[in-house]
């Protein structure tokens, strides 16, 4: 784990229905508990929230399409992020995401290294996702499945 860098994670999803729709109730009901669990997880640093403190799913005007919602966080290292994403209750929502979300593009999640203590902007996050969508995984913008270390060296993913 690098003490000089943290890993930023940004993903987008296109809602199948507005958040106040009955079909989204299960997802919405678990936003606060899942986000609280993330905040209490080993390696968590920061996450984007709406101005009123709600989930980033309630952040508006990031994309022209109001049904596209972001999730944006910073973690101490890739392993901490992977543990939260793939080895906690979060996996239920990942596995069943087709209930609530439509596919936006081949790449919907992007990772990149940031200096420890730095919180990237939403504009940076959007640029990193666009870079990944145009170029595939590179040291500038990559995925959990094709990660790079903070020096730009490719890492072999170990996702189970």
pLDDT of residue 50: 79
Please write the tens of the pLDDT for every residue from 8-53. Answer: 999 999 999 999 999 999 999 998 899 999 999 999 999 998 787 7
What does the alpha-carbon distance between residue 97 and residue 100 come to, in Å, rounded to a whole number? 6
The band of 1, judged by pLDDT with boundaries at 50, 70 and 90, is low
Using CB atoms within 10 Å of the CB of residue 110, give its burial: 0 to 12 exposed, 13 to 18 middle, 19+ buried. buried
Which of 31-35, 105-109, 116-120 shows the highest mean pLDDT? 116-120
* pLDDT(110) > 60: yes
For 135, phi and psi rounded to 5 degrees?
-115, -5
Provide the sign of the torsion angle of the four alpha carbons 45, 48, 50, 51, taken in this order: positive
The band of 118, judged by pLDDT with boundaries at 50, 70 and 90, is very high
* pLDDT(160) > 50: no
pTM here is 0.90
The band of 61, judged by pLDDT with boundaries at 50, 70 and 90, is low
159 token code pair: 């996702």
The DSSP bridge pattern shows strands 109-115 and 68-75 to be unpaired
In order, the DSSP letters of 71-135 are EEEEES-HHHHHHHHHSSTHHHHHHTGGGTEE---S--EEEEEEETT----HHHHHHHHHHHHHH
pLDDT of residue 157: 53
* pLDDT(91) > 50: yes
The stretch 112-124 carries a mean pLDDT of: 97
Q: Which of 93, 99, 75 is nearest to 24 (CA)?
A: 99
pLDDT of residue 42: 96
What does the alpha-carbon distance between residue 156 and residue 154 come to, in Å, rounded to a whole number? 7
pLDDT of residue 156: 73
Q: Which domains does the chain have, with CATH numbers?
A: 5-135 (3.30.70.100)
């Amino acid at each position: 784990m690098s003490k000089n860098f943290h890993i930023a994670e940004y993903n987008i999803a296109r809602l199948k229905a507005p958040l106040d729709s009955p079909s989204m109730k299960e997802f919405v009901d678990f936003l606060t508990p899942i986000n609280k669990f993330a905040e209490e997880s080993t390696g968590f640093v920061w996450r984007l929230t709406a101005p009123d403190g709600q989930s980033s799913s309630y952040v508006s005007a990031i994309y022209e399409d109001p049904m596209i919602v972001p999730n944006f966080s910073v973690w101490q290292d890739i392993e901490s992020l992977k543990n939260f994403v793939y080895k906690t209750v979060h996996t239920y929502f990942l596995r069943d995401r087709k209930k609530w979300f439509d596919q936006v593009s081949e790449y919907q999640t992007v990772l990149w290294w940031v200096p420890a203590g730095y919180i990237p902007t939403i504009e940076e996050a959007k640029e990193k996702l666009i870079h990944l969508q145009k170029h595939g995984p590179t040291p500038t913008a990559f995925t959990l499945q094709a990660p790079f270390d903070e020096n730009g060296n490719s890492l072999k993913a170990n996702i189970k």
